[in-house]
């Protein structure tokens, strides 16, 4: 089902081809998304409604915006089991992310010079929550709770309406628990355009976060610069590093749990022996017969996924760091040592009792993660993503005098004499 590649038998260029990829969508989707975004920018509510009718995700006219009172009512309509699960998940997210709240720092590199780094929350943030046929209340919580902790005063959610033009009560309840202020039933590239540029009834936002399909990702890239975005979100990814001590059945379950997101999902098995790789493949076949989304999983495994045979643990770690997966599970005798050696992964799951789904729903770790290799330079969504830093500089007369030779020399080297003048002029009328 999954092709097998022996890392010892391929060249460096072939290894790079396996690991270098991008979450950015193809040019045709980019171009079409740009057209939709520009139509909403120029046409406002009427263009948004037209796109909703054409592409789906929009409700009947005049029913698309919900506020806090509507959200609170949804918590009464869902079952107590789901409500409790949402509340417990939100509590765990809150506990984990509370430690991320930034603090003010001040440094004095030279006497008379102080540089302070201040952080403040953004004013208005939008969360895109995938919806339509399948609701994702967990994704709402993963963004809304950190935004709430950051102190963002206006948190907006956009989510595609499902059949009948209504939003899922599970999503609305998650919005209420996460402190969301308003919800708009809209999806796709048109939703991103409305959030970035605003319409007659929707105020523009400072930043858009949250996962979405290829059209959403392409639209986020189109509006970047008009407003901020988190990261372009590519297909879901799972990688497992295994040796002979791994439970083939548990590893197989972790691989297919991410592959079930969609036929474009990516699952990679990094095995230290061919025997354990064969055992895991056999377990995948067994488990597939029990699952509702088996055809989607099979497409993902056959089209986008593969097995690599690594020479040793160091080789496995090198490959993992080059690939930079969204999710990385470690099932080896010394899992902690491998976890310490991995520097590029969105979220790492160490040992037999750390399935990916626990992190997706319940541990409080964020599941909005970098994909497409962006984990080489980016981390999970955090409280800091909902604010920005600024520098505040205070300089005394004596401090500026100490800086004067440095400014003068560098300004002369760069031919910017007005820079030097701006310092020198302050001492013209004083000793």
Are 320 and 239 contacting, i.e. CB atoms less than 8 angstroms apart?
A: yes
Q: 384 an active-site residue? A: no
Q: Residue 272 CB: number of other CB atoms within 10 A? A: 22
d(CA 82, CA 169): 11
- Among 71, 67, 65, which residue's Cα sits nearest to residue 191? 65
* The pLDDT of residue 135: 87
d(CA 129, CA 140): 6
Residues 6+ apart with CB under 8 A from 43: 50
* Cα dihedral 309→313→316→317 (10° resolution): 180
- Among 369, 331, 363, 332, which residue's Cα sits nearest to residue 347? 369
| Catalytic residue, candidates 97, 184, 327, 356 | 327
Radius of gyration for the alpha carbons in the chain, expressed in angstroms and rounded: 25
Angle at 119 between CA 113 and CA 124, to 5 degrees: 145
Are 398 and 430 contacting, i.e. CB atoms less than 8 angstroms apart?
A: no
Angle at 408 between CA 404 and CA 414, to 5 degrees: 145
d(CA 195, CA 192): 5
Distances in Å between the alpha carbon of 339 and those of 97, 106, 314, 335, 345? 21, 34, 12, 6, 10
Q: 327 an active-site residue? A: yes
| Catalytic residue, candidates 97, 281, 326, 356 | 326
Give the distance from CA 114 to its chain's centroid: 35
* The pLDDT of residue 295: 94
d(CA 44, CA 209): 21
- List pLDDT tens digits, range 184-223: 999 999 999 999 999 999 999 999 999 988 999 999 999 9
Q: Which positions of the chain have pLDDT values less than 70?
A: 25, 60-63, 133, 430-431
Residues 6+ apart with CB under 8 A from 415: none
Q: What is the DSSP string of 213-282?
A: -HHHHHHHHHHBTTBEES----S-EEEEEE-TTS-HHHHHHHHHHHHTT-TT-EEEEEESSHHHHHHHHH
CATH numbers and ranges of domains, the chain: 3-23+234-364 (3.40.50.1980), 27-229 (3.40.50.1980), 396-427 (no CATH)
């Amino acid at each position: 089902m999954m092709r097998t590649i022996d890392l010892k038998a391929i060249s460096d260029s072939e290894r790079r081809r396996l690991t270098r990829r991008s979450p950015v969508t193809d040019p045709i989707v980019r171009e079409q998304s740009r057209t939709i975004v520009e139509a909403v920018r120029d046409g406002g509510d009427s263009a948004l409604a037209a796109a909703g009718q054409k592409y789906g995700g929009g409700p009947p006219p005049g029913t698309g915006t919900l506020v806090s009172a509507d959200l609170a009512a949804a918590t009464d309509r869902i079952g107590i089991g789901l409500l409790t699960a949402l509340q417990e998940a939100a509590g765990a997210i809150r506990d984990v992310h509370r430690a991320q709240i930034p603090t003010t720092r001040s440094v004095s590199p030279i006497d008379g010079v102080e540089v302070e780094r201040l952080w403040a929350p953004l004013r208005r943030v939008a969360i895109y929550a995938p919806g339509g046929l399948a609701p994702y209340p967990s994704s709402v919580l993963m963004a809304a709770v950190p935004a709430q902790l950051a102190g963002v005063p206006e948190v907006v959610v956009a989510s595609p309406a499902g059949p009948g033009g209504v939003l899922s009560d599970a999503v609305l309840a998650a919005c209420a628990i996460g402190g969301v202020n308003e919800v708009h039933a809209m999806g796709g590239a048109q939703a991103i355009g409305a959030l970035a540029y605003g319409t007659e009834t929707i105020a523009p936002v400072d930043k858009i976060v949250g996962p979405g399909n290829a059209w959403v990702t392409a639209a986020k890239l189109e509006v970047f610069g008009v407003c901020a975005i988190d990261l372009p979100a590519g297909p879901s990814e799972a990688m497992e590093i295994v040796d002979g001590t791994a439970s083939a059945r548990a590893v197989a379950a972790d691989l297919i749990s991410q592959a079930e997101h969609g036929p474009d999902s990516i699952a990679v098995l990094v095995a230290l022996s061919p025997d354990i790789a064969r055992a895991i493949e056999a377990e995948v076949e067994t488990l597939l017969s029990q699952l509702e989304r088996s055809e989607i999983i099979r497409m993902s495994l056959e089209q986008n996924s593969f097995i690599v045979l690594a020479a040793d643990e160091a080789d496995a770690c090198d490959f993992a760091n080059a690939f930079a997966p969204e999710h990385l599970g470690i099932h080896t005798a010394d899992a902690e040592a491998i976890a310490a050696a991995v520097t590029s992964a969105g979220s790492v799951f160490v040992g037999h009792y750390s399935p990916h789904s626990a992190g997706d729903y319940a541990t409080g770790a964020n599941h909005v993660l970098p994909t497409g290799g962006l984990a080489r330079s980016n981390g999970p969504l955090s409280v800091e993503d909902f604010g920005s830093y600024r520098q505040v500089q205070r300089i005394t007369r004596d401090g500026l005098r100490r800086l004067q030779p440095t400014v003068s020399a560098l300004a002369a080297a760069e031919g910017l004499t007005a820079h030097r003048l701006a310092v020198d002029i302050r001492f013209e009328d004083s000793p």
